[in-house]
Each structure stands twice: as C-alpha cells, then as structure tokens.
Structure 1
Amino acid sequence: MALEMRDRCERCETVLSHASSARICSYECTFCVSRSDAMQDTCPNCSGELVTRPCRAPAPAAE
C-alpha cells in the first residue's frame, strides 16, 4: 500500500508538493515543518509522533 502524499498542511493549508519538506504521523496526518515544530512534533489528531515525510519523485511524463 502506497503512502498517501497529501498536498496541504492540515493546520495552515500551506501547499506541500511531493518534494516539499513535511511531517506525518502513522495515520498519514500531514503538517508543514513550521506547524509541526510549533506542535512539538506531536500529532493533534492522534497524539502520535510526527516524523519527516519521505520525498517522492514526480511521475515520468507519458510519451
């Protein structure tokens, strides 16, 4: 099962591209780094740890 790469911070709606730095919890709640820092890397939804989201390369262009 692939990781869901959400495109916005759940707190401030900052746009997050697949290459943007972001943090996620084990339920894939997604936050920008500044909001995560402000929340002391704790998810407000599940109280789980927020960790660095892996980057995903863009999909190859179709020919």
Structure 2
Amino acid sequence: MLELRPCCECCGTDLPPASAEARICSYECTFCAACADGVLQGRCPNCTGELVRRPVRPAEKLLKHPASTVRKVKPAGCAAA
C-alpha cells in the first residue's frame, strides 16, 4: 500500500493525500509537480526512475489506511540531486 508521503523531498511543499500535484517513483520517493517537471526533468534523483502522478486514495479509505505523516526533505533540496 502506498505511504502517501506528505511533502516534496526537494522543496518541502505540502502534498496532501488528495493532491494532483504529487509525483512518485516506483520506490515512492515523492516530489511536487513543479520540482518533478522542472529541475528533475521527470526522473527521480534517488533511483533515476520515472516520476508519475501519485494516485489519490478515496477519502473513506484514508480512515482505515491513513497517509504517512513522516516528512522526508533533502537538506540541500533539488540542487543536490
């Protein structure tokens, strides 16, 4: 099950579970659309995998399977990628 991480690893932008702006790789590294499409050019800086739109979990399912609250942000941001 996807963790639905709460923020962009590069810039720290909040990405709530229903956000259409969240992008993930196959390892669930999470980025906002601006970072994914911009500086990262559609590639995960951690594994070089493709970044795709994260699916949205229906609100009623979030009650049983809540999103993660653990924030993972690179100290140097996307520039360090």
TM-score between the two structures when normalised by the length of structure 1: 0.87
Aligned length: 59
Letter in 2 for 1:51: V
Partner SS, residue 11 of structure 1:
coil
What RMSD, in angstroms, separates the aligned Cα atoms of the two structures?
Answer: 1.0
| Residue 24 of structure 1: aligned partner | 24
Deviation of the 1:16 alpha carbon: 0.6
Runs of 4+ in 1 over 3 A off after TM superposition: none
TM-score between the two structures when normalised by the length of structure 2: 0.69
| Residue 49 of structure 2: aligned partner | 48
Partner SS, residue 37 of structure 2:
helix
Q: Structure 2, unaligned stretches of length 5 or more?
A: 64-81
Identity of aligned residues (%): 58
| Residue 37 of structure 2: aligned partner | 37
Give the helix-richer structure, 1 or 2.
Answer: 2
Instruction: Give the whole-Å Cα distance in 1 for the aligned partners of 2:52 and 2:7.
Output: 16
